[in-house]
Structure 1
Amino acid sequence: MPITTLLVKSFNRPYYLDRCLQSIADQVRGEYEVVVLDDGTPPAYLDEITRRHPSVRIEPSALYDAKVAQLAAHVAGTASFSLRIIPTKLWLNGVKQASDIFCMLEDDIWVTQPFDVDAMTAYMRERQIVLAKMYWGGDPSSFEGKLAGGVAGLREYVPALPKGPEWFTRMLLLNTFKSQSVLHRLGLVPEGIYYQLPFYGLYSVASAMFDKNYWLHLWPAEQQKANEVHQLARAMTWTKRRPARFAKAEQELTQTSFITSATNSFADVEFDVFAGNHYLNEAWLHRRFDAMAGYPRDFDPEYLRPVFDQANDPRCTYANWQRWIVRFKQLYASMGVVVD
């Protein structure tokens, strides 16, 4: 049985990365390797991650040093962080070197249920499953028609996609010629993200097992900005032209955070996520809080309140963090994700 690769995308939240890696060690069974694809977590924190998780391999992005320098300048107040380019080449190289069936996680995702990665990968190979979701945010609307299940804890599904020829659905998905806006005004399609949501039955950013060739098809090397509609369109093209099956775990195997973010900000909330993460990172580094506190649920914000109170930084007060959390949860709840 080949060793399965578990890839973890990471950027500047070692307190969650620590939780992610510990949850893997506690819950995942079988033969696997863990590779962290890091895009700018400062070296002191990665050194501590290595001390706590010595078997994990860390691969840095090409812009690693530049992003670390920008983070330091941002925290010092001398310049704002602006390098928001996604590390596509790092991800592509990681996937190319991974096993033919691999798992993609992110630093703010943790495993909550035991699962056998050997059994899951074997079943995916046998059934030619290109995507097995481990998390779906509590919203089953992207799935219809169970085909088979009960093997390796997986249940196959048919994605509930809009009807119509490929050229038409692709045009709407990509909003070519502002087609979504025109048809929405005519009352024929829902607005914006709501048209895209069914296509997430074909794709997951993370918290999923992937067939390597499928994932590589989804991510062109030239893409430098996070715009998932391109992955959704390429996934649709694959499924129209090649055999593909999809599955999800019978119960969600992972959870994610809705109380912090690596980069998200809101114009109407005065909360600096880079400054906030700096203080959380430092508190984690000096063991002022336990990365597994509250597991398998997320941290209780009140548990982390002393970090912000002691920082006493007007850029990231506890009160404004609470307002930021409300706005962040509203963003995902509007897309049908269960955030509490």
Structure 2
Amino acid sequence: MSTAVSILVKSFNRPYYLDRCLRSIYEQVTGNFTITVLDDGTPPAYLAEITRRYPQVHIVRSDLYDAKVAQLEAHAAGGPKFSLRLIPTQLWIAGVEAATPIFCLLEDDIWMTHPVNLTELADYMQARQVVMTKFYWGGNMNTFKADMGVRSNGLQEYSLTLPAGPGWWLRALLLNRFKLHSVLHRLGLAKEGIYFQLPFYGLYSVASAAFRKDYWLNLWSAGQKQADEVHQLARALRWTRQHLARFAKSEVELTQTSFTSSATNMFKDVDFDVITANHYLNQAWLQGRFDVMQGYPRDFDPAALKFVFDDANDPRCTYANWLRWIERFKQVYASMGVIVD
């Protein structure tokens, strides 16, 4: 019997991207797999449409689902701003605990771009004791500091090149214990924030990866309520110093993600309300007014969705300011070496 693989998709209020994600899975992925969507606040009408289009997909809602939906709808209607930004850690942990020993983790704004047989991938990871296989690294291997090793089945194993020092010291820097990183940064001896953390992401991935379940579960605490990935990086570093752990990447990137959209990210210097924008995009998607595979395997062409913002005629999210927001959003990732076009 072929090895089964769970595909888990984190989802929050962008059904138009969730639709693209799911369709790409069925177009590109082979093997014995199931799909579970872990949803944290996509309004019911949109989830009902997802279920109509993909009846075989299982959807699980977070404990704060109803409260987040209510806040999103009030925000879009011009009421109080959405503020319930706690991450659904317990939903994710429960999803992974119920998953297969090797599972694939995606997010709603991530889509598959190349064929992959997940059964073969899982068999390889189990045989080689690979704890994580990355599907995406931002298009730029120059940011991936590692010694490349074994190649097999479309995968390549790697050993990371990390900053020098014992594990306890590196974890203290990552977590900025006793303000160590802050002091070293002011002295010019350590890179700023995320730029210091980047090499450690070879040990961890937010999504776009296949994980061994026990490894992923050791990276997360059920009490974590805010998105602060340095905790996962520090736990991953500790794991690799205590266990045999191999890491791999696909030889070509198997996924892509969006740089034209976000669930909640806003910038003080750009007058664009992404939550309201997603409300209008969600409605247009529900009405069948655009093809979610438009531009695939690349992201949506903003010009193809201009009509959504023109029809909405809402000063909170104009098309012109969307373009400004996109450029600002891309700048953040381009500064880290990610190819955003």
Taking structure 2 as the reference length, the TM-score comes to 0.98
Alpha-carbon distance between aligned partners in 2 of 1:185 and 1:2, rounded to the nearest angstrom: 51
Give CA-to-partner distance per residue, 1:12-54, whole Å, 9 cap, x none.
Answer: 0000000000000000010000000000000000010011111
For 2:169, what is the secondary structure of its paired residue? helix
Alpha-carbon distance between aligned partners in 2 of 1:2 and 1:157, rounded to the nearest angstrom: 24
Alignment match, 1:148: 150
Give the counterpart letter for 1:257 in structure 2. S
Alpha-carbon distance between aligned partners in 2 of 1:192 and 1:13, rounded to the nearest angstrom: 29
Deviation at 1:113, TM superposition (A): 0.3
Alignment match, 1:324: 325
Alignment match, 1:238: 239
Structure 2 counterparts to residues 195-210 of structure 1, below 5 A: 195-210=196-211
For 2:228, what is the secondary structure of its paired residue? coil
For 2:60, what is the secondary structure of its paired residue? strand
Q: Is the 8 A contact 1:333 1:339 kept in 2?
A: yes
Deviation at 1:143, TM superposition (A): 3.5
CA RMSD in angstroms, aligned pairs only: 0.8
Give the counterpart letter for 1:205 in structure 2. V
Deviation at 1:171, TM superposition (A): 1.2
Query: Quick check: 1:280 aligned with 2:258?
Result: no
Change (3 A) 1:84 1:104: same
For 2:124, what is the secondary structure of its paired residue? helix
Alignment match, 2:32: 31
Q: Is the 8 A contact 1:142 1:199 kept in 2?
A: no
Alignment match, 1:251: 252
Q: Is the 8 A contact 1:30 1:117 kept in 2?
A: yes
Alignment match, 1:89: 90
Deviation at 1:2, TM superposition (A): 3.0
Alpha-carbon distance between aligned partners in 2 of 1:186 and 1:14, rounded to the nearest angstrom: 46
Give CA-to-partner distance per residue, 1:115-160, whole Å, 9 cap, x none.
Answer: 11111000000000000000010232333211201x2211000112
Alpha-carbon distance between aligned partners in 2 of 1:266 and 1:71, rounded to the nearest angstrom: 19
Query: Quick check: 1:124 aligned with 2:102?
Result: no
Query: Quick check: 1:222 aligned with 2:223?
Result: yes
Alpha-carbon distance between aligned partners in 2 of 1:248 and 1:332, rounded to the nearest angstrom: 20
- How many equivalent residue pairs? 339
Alpha-carbon distance between aligned partners in 2 of 1:70 and 1:184, rounded to the nearest angstrom: 39
Alpha-carbon distance between aligned partners in 2 of 1:89 and 1:55, rounded to the nearest angstrom: 24
Query: Quick check: 1:270 aligned with 2:249?
Result: no
Give the counterpart letter for 1:103 in structure 2. C
Q: Is the 8 A contact 2:36 2:58 kept in 1?
A: yes
Alignment match, 1:8: 9
Query: Quick check: 1:80 aligned with 2:110?
Result: no
Identity of aligned residues (%): 65
Query: Quick check: 1:108 aligned with 2:109?
Result: yes
Alpha-carbon distance between aligned partners in 2 of 1:186 and 1:263, rounded to the nearest angstrom: 34
Query: Quick check: 1:45 aligned with 2:59?
Result: no
Give CA-to-partner distance per residue, 1:34-81, whole Å, 9 cap, x none.
Answer: 000000000000010011111100000000011111111101112110
Give CA-to-partner distance per residue, 1:302-329, whole Å, 9 cap, x none.
Answer: 0000000000000000001011101100
Deviation at 1:168, TM superposition (A): 1.1
Alpha-carbon distance between aligned partners in 1 of 2:79 and 2:183, rounded to the nearest angstrom: 45
Q: Is the 8 A contact 1:13 1:281 kept in 2?
A: yes
Alpha-carbon distance between aligned partners in 2 of 1:192 and 1:38, rounded to the nearest angstrom: 30
For 2:316, what is the secondary structure of its paired residue? helix
Q: Is the 8 A contact 1:144 1:159 kept in 2?
A: yes
Query: Quick check: 1:136 aligned with 2:116?
Result: no
Q: Is the 8 A contact 2:109 2:257 kept in 1?
A: yes
Deviation at 1:82, TM superposition (A): 0.5
For 2:235, what is the secondary structure of its paired residue? helix
Alpha-carbon distance between aligned partners in 2 of 1:155 and 1:281, rounded to the nearest angstrom: 38
Give CA-to-partner distance per residue, 1:264-317, whole Å, 9 cap, x none.
Answer: 000111101110000000000000000011100000000000000000000000
Structure 2 stretches lacking a partner, 5+ long = none
Query: Quick check: 1:63 aligned with 2:69?
Result: no
Q: Is the 8 A contact 2:109 2:258 kept in 1?
A: yes
Alignment match, 2:335: 334
Q: Is the 8 A contact 1:116 1:152 kept in 2?
A: no
For 1:316, what is the secondary structure of its paired residue? coil
Alpha-carbon distance between aligned partners in 1 of 2:145 and 2:125, rounded to the nearest angstrom: 18
Q: Is the 8 A contact 2:30 2:115 kept in 1?
A: yes
Alpha-carbon distance between aligned partners in 1 of 2:161 and 2:21, rounded to the nearest angstrom: 31
Structure 1 stretches lacking a partner, 5+ long = none
Q: Is the 8 A contact 2:3 2:122 kept in 1?
A: no
